[in-house]
Amino acid sequence: MKDKLILMLLLFSVFLAKAQQPSCKDVNKIASMEMQAHAKKINQNISSLTMASGNYQVTYYRCEWNINPAVYNISGKVMPFFTITKATSNIVFDLSHVLKVDSVVIRKRKLSFTQSPDETLTIQLPKMYSKGKRDSLSIYYKGAPIGSGFGSFIQSTHTGTSVIWTLSEPYGARDWWPCRNGLDDKADSIDIYITHPQQYKTSSNGLLVGTQTKGSSVVSHYKHRYPIASYLVAFAVTNFSVFTDNVQLGNVSMPVISYVYPEDSATFHNNTHMMLDAMRLYNDKFVPYPFINERYGQTEFGWGGGMEHQTNSFITGPSENLMAHELAHQWFGDRVTCASWTDIWLNEGFATYCADILYNETYHPDQLAASVKSNLDFIVSATNGSVKVSDTTSVSRIFDSRLSYSKGAFLLRMLRFTMGDTNFFKAMTDYLNDPKLQYNFAHTSDLKAHMETASGLDLTYFFDQWFTGQGYPSFKVEWNQDASNNANIKINQTTSNSSVSFFRVPLALKFRNATQQKTIIVDNTTNNQTLTTAVGFKADTVFIDPDMYIISKNNTTIKTTPPIIIPPPLQPIAVSPNPFTGTINFSLPDSGAQKVLISLFDVYGHLIATKTDVAVMKNQHYQLNVPLSAKAGIYMLQITVNGKSTSHLVMKE
């Protein structure tokens, strides 16, 4: 036992493991381009955003489109298969009123329909359909999409060659095809047939299963057999150069197919390997690539960023960060899709985190610290703003680079620091594998539930502060040392926005002199919190959050003289059993009614278990239940009574 306690003291002197981010960081550029482009798409009345009726669900789409990149037009047929969820005699699809519907047919019978300026297509069914009724119909239409401006349906050129592409996030799918345009329904599968002139090639979702020549045209058939949201359906047509790489994912060798402009083929060939590295990393770190039975692809297009179309990301070029970012969306955004644009960070924050943290801590560890600092400076460049999107009618707010991308990613960085790696990645895996969420939609509350289950922590305070709340804390740490090199510490906190009066955080403090250093983790739970801790050497400097795990700004440390007045220490508290198995017991001294905070940390400073704000009476016996997931080893138990703290080294058998 004695040897283990000595080892425990040594371990606490190296409390933190450093996580990092890239130096050649593109996320702000990516987010800015995506925000600007999406924002141009909304220049019409979007008060409803989607007007499709809620009395049916689409199970399958068969899409047949005629596309000539030299002609700004689309024509064809969309055949939705659907299930009625509420008895009705009509169903409503989202569709731009500028596209002319020629007819709607069901088993050779033409149906009555109306198109409205509110971008809807209302179809009268042959009779009253009861709940559970399944059927299909065909919508024939044509026109020149005006869309909402930039992005949803674009005709352009590259080195003199015509190209047409689509991009539908967040509300643009209805600009060019009839569908359900909301975040409440995924088709189980989709077939896409594109008829185009022979000199061109197509790129779309899923697998290219065949081509058929018809006169001077070719029909390209893509098949996709995974659930898909309407905004993730896309195609592009031009004179693509196509090449295939294969990536080994476990026991599966999967094709990765690139569709690029011929003039850029060499550049893509030389850089695609970085995307393959990212795919292997995400495949191992989370769950297997979500569409492993089909393929992944990258398609070059002429926009200003990237778009994570399912199985086939559209990108402007093969930059390392952009490829890693859009690929990550196949897990976070495509496999599990945000159920509301309020929760867009579940798509963009996660993709940013994967590209900027996971990828770069593996491949660019020497560059990460500077990039984390750059990202953090960007987040705190304004004193307000929540990760939660308050106005989903504002595309610029949805795709806010500071909040939805960078702060969303940093929220995950803080969760990982708070929970520890094991619990964090288990929660991520469980979230992606949740039967109710996989290939479906999720809210932030769903992620929170998995984070709490994996860690055993109540994280309500965390999401109230960092997801719903605005701003950040600024810390002032006053400290000095006595003759025994014990540090007396006082922590004061102010906040940049009144929406959060106090941020509860695990705060790292690094004590250092020319030859020695030691980091301690303080669960900062109250303002003007005081504590005493053994440092073991005479420090000359204290750094606050040295590895930048917390969003904060304007932090200061002050070495005080005369010494900080620390309240009288707690009377000795007997902790038993030690070693413990599942629970830790102790009794409080006889000093009247008290408010108690109990926190258990592992050797890396991660919070393992806690009970907070518990009012108890004198001579109260207390018990802390430790999660079953906690491994055998050394822990630090911190007991705070009425603002006075004491720490105990304990061991789990």
Query: What is the C-alpha separation between 589 and 641, in angstroms, rounded?
Result: 10
pLDDT higher at 210 or 590 = 210
User: What pLDDT does residue 643 have?
Assistant: 64
Count other Cβ atoms within 10 Å, centred on residue 214: 9
Residue type, 118: D
Q: Where are the alpha helices (DSSP H) in 41-122?
A: none
The percent of residues above 70 in pLDDT, for the chain, comes to: 87
Count other Cβ atoms within 10 Å, centred on residue 39: 19
User: What pLDDT does residue 623 have?
Assistant: 82
Structural domains of the chain, ranges and CATH numbers in brackets: 28-43+53-331 (2.60.40.1730), 339-468 (1.10.390.10), 471-559 (2.60.40.1840), 575-652 (2.60.40.2550)
* Segment 41-48 mean pLDDT: 39
Confidence of residue 6 (pLDDT cuts 50, 70, 90): very low
Angle at 431 between CA 429 and CA 436, to 5 degrees: 130
Query: What is the C-alpha separation between 386 and 467, in angstroms, rounded?
Result: 6
Confidence of residue 589 (pLDDT cuts 50, 70, 90): low
Query: What is the C-alpha separation between 526 and 567, in angstroms, rounded?
Result: 15
Residue type, 277: D
User: What pLDDT does residue 618 have?
Assistant: 55
Angle at 27 between CA 22 and CA 28, to 5 degrees: 120
| Tens-digit pLDDT profile for residues 129-167 | 999 999 999 999 999 998 554 469 999 999 999 999 999
Place of tokens 């960085």: 413
- Pairing type for strands 189-197 and 56-66 reads parallel
Confidence of residue 20 (pLDDT cuts 50, 70, 90): very low
pLDDT higher at 18 or 411 = 411
Confidence of residue 579 (pLDDT cuts 50, 70, 90): confident
User: What pLDDT does residue 346 have?
Assistant: 98
Count other Cβ atoms within 10 Å, centred on residue 452: 18
Query: What is the C-alpha separation between 632 and 43, in angstroms, rounded?
Result: 59
- The residues facing 136 across adjacent strands are 81
User: What pLDDT does residue 351 have?
Assistant: 97
Among 408-417, 513-522, 594-603, 606-615, the range scoring the smallest mean pLDDT is 606-615
pLDDT for residue 607 is more than 60: yes
| Tens-digit pLDDT profile for residues 54-67 | 999 999 999 999 99
Residue type, 571: Q
Residue type, 607: L
Q: How many CA atoms lie within 13 Å of 636's alpha carbon, on the beta-carbon side? A: 25
Summary mean pLDDT of the chain: 88
User: What pLDDT does residue 631 have?
Assistant: 81
* Segment 63-91 mean pLDDT: 98
- The residues facing 498 across adjacent strands are none
End-to-end Cα, the chain, rounded Å: 11
pLDDT higher at 9 or 143 = 143
* Rg of the chain over all Cα atoms, to the nearest angstrom: 29
Non-local CB neighbours of 537 within 8 Å, separated by 6+ positions: 485, 511, 513, 516, 518
* Segment 387-398 mean pLDDT: 91
Confidence of residue 569 (pLDDT cuts 50, 70, 90): low
Cis preceding-peptide flag for 562 (omega within 30 of 0):
yes
Q: Is 565 helix (H, G, I), strand (E, B) or coil?
A: coil
The percent of residues above 90 in pLDDT, for the chain, comes to: 74
- Pairing type for strands 583-587 and 556-559 reads unpaired
Non-local CB neighbours of 625 within 8 Å, separated by 6+ positions: 582, 583, 609
Query: What is the C-alpha separation between 357 and 624, in angstroms, rounded?
Result: 34
User: What pLDDT does residue 374 have?
Assistant: 86
User: What pLDDT does residue 50 have?
Assistant: 84
According to DSSP, residue 179 is labeled: B
- The residues facing 300 across adjacent strands are 315
Q: Is 3 helix (H, G, I), strand (E, B) or coil?
A: helix
| Tens-digit pLDDT profile for residues 202-242 | 999 999 999 999 999 999 999 999 999 999 999 999 999 99
108-121 exposure pattern, b = at least 16 Cβ within 10 A, e = fewer:
eeebebebeeebbb
**How much of the chain is helix, strand and coil, in % rounded to 5?**
25, 35, 40
Given a contact cutoff of 8 angstroms between Cβ atoms, the answer to whether 85 and 56 are in contact is: yes
* Segment 303-312 mean pLDDT: 92
pLDDT for residue 21 is more than 50: no
Query: What is the C-alpha separation between 476 and 568, in angstroms, rounded?
Result: 22
| Tens-digit pLDDT profile for residues 331-368 | 999 999 999 999 999 999 999 999 998 999 999 998 88
Among 145-154, 250-259, 521-530, the range scoring the smallest mean pLDDT is 145-154
HEC string for 587-633: ECCCCCCEEEEEEEECCCCCEEEEEEEEEECCCCEEEEECCCCCCCE
Confidence of residue 416 (pLDDT cuts 50, 70, 90): very high
Would you call 223 exposed, middle or buried from its count of C-beta atoms within 10 A (0-12, 13-18, 19+)? middle
Query: What is the C-alpha separation between 166 and 342, in angstroms, rounded?
Result: 24
User: What pLDDT does residue 633 have?
Assistant: 79
Given a contact cutoff of 8 angstroms between Cβ atoms, the answer to whether 328 and 355 are in contact is: yes
